[in-house]
Amino acid sequence: MKSPWMPERRAQQATAIHRWKPWEKSTGPRTADGKAIVSRNAFKGGKRILLRQSMREFRQFMRAAAMVLEEAGGAPR
């Protein structure tokens, strides 16, 4: 897709941007809350952490169930 701007307009805009220097005014987050928010910018919503937590809870439940069965004289491991 070609730019809708003519070469003259692009050059004029580039000159204006170099005059404004917006990159010098960019400060990024300043507060702890702002920093916490931007620290998650690259997070894509993966499920690995949730899956690991679920498996950890499942294993803990299974250990507890096995202990109850052993105490009740149920099936051996």
Q: Which domain holds residue 51?
A: 46-77
Tell me whether residue 70 is in a domain. yes
Residue 52's H or E segment, with its range, is helix 48-71
CA distances from 50 to 37, 42, 53, 58 (A): 20, 18, 5, 12
pLDDT tens string 26-71: 888 999 999 999 998 887 777 888 899 999 999 999 999 999 999 9
Q: What is residue 73's predicted lDDT score, i.e. its pLDDT?
A: 83
* Spatial CA neighbour of 22 closest among 34, 13, 11, 35: 13
Q: Does residue 62 lie within any of the structural domains?
A: yes
The tokens for 15 are 């000159």
Task: Answer yes or no: is 53 within a domain.
Answer: yes
- In the chain, the percentage of residues whose pLDDT exceeds 70 is 91
| Number of domain units in the chain | 1
Q: Is residue 76 part of a domain?
A: yes
Whether 68 is in a domain gets the answer yes
**Does residue 72 fall inside a structural domain?**
yes
